[in-house]
Amino acid sequence: GGDAMSTVLFVSPEKLVRSRALHALLRIAYEEGWWRCVAIDEAHCVDEHGLEFRHDYWLLGALTAVFPELTYMLLTATASPVTVQSLCITLGIETDPVVVRGTTRREQTAYTCIVCEDGPQKLRSVTFAVEAAHKGGKSTMVYTNSRRGTERLAGSFREVCGLPEAAPDGEPRSIEAYHAGMDRIRRRELEAAWRDSVIRQLAATSAMGMDKRDIDAVYHHMPPQHWRSEAAGAGPGGGCSK
């Protein structure tokens, strides 16, 4: 009916950098005037001084040279002012960029650091918290930094809470593990069960987000490497929860 339509293309930086077929399509879209805006999520990955530098993100800087009329939106929650400046230089958009900063303060959220003497004490602390949440019908996410770690944690939580190690019908239980190594169908099942509170205790890597309204607590049993480096002075078993 003559109404204007917008198309959004979601693509990974790796695909954007390496796919010749995609490059050809983008060239057509650009020359026809259909494509003028690029949004880069987790933009701190562009910068080698950022928390999670990825080489293919850095190569996105070539877009400006090839498609000079593009407008960029860079989204990140972890970039310092120095990193923001570096991102703009890398992407060739350093001329008067508009920088919008929000606060990291959330009134409804409390943060706590628990210092443990060793790994076993840290495991006991988080297991006790999950057991209490399980008995109280509350939802808890426990992050760790490896796929195998999620399986070990979920097994420990189920053992303490008296749940069977294997579900008889393969359906999600109230305590599960989640990581990117699972097949796509299984991941989608767990995501839906988490949102619907079929699963209330989840051990996961950062592949799992926290899109859940009634989550009560998030624990970091094994924080990301850059957290541990920054918190090295907190003690040998320093862990974070929130």
Q: Over its length of 242 residues, how does the chain's per-residue pLDDT go in tens digits?
A: 345 567 888 888 888 888 999 999 999 999 999 999 999 988 888 876 655 667 788 888 888 888 999 999 999 887 788 888 888 888 888 778 888 888 777 777 888 888 888 888 999 999 999 999 999 999 999 999 888 999 999 999 999 998 877 666 667 788 999 998 888 898 999 999 999 989 999 999 887 877 777 889 999 988 665 555 444 444 434 443 33
| pTM for this predicted structure | 0.60
Residues shown for the chain: 242
Question: Do 36 and 69 touch, CB atoms closer than 8 A?
Answer: yes
How far is residue 71's CA from residue 21's CA, in Å, rounded to a whole number?
A: 22
The pLDDT of residue 170 is 64
Closest CA to 85 of 65, 99, 101: 99
Question: Do 75 and 43 touch, CB atoms closer than 8 A?
Answer: yes
How far is residue 144's CA from residue 220's CA, in Å, rounded to a whole number?
A: 6
The pLDDT of residue 110 is 83
Which bin fits 175, alpha (ψ -120 to 50), beta or left (φ > 0)? beta
How far is residue 241's CA from residue 227's CA, in Å, rounded to a whole number?
A: 12
Closest CA to 178 of 207, 137, 158: 207
The pLDDT of residue 166 is 64
The pLDDT of residue 124 is 92
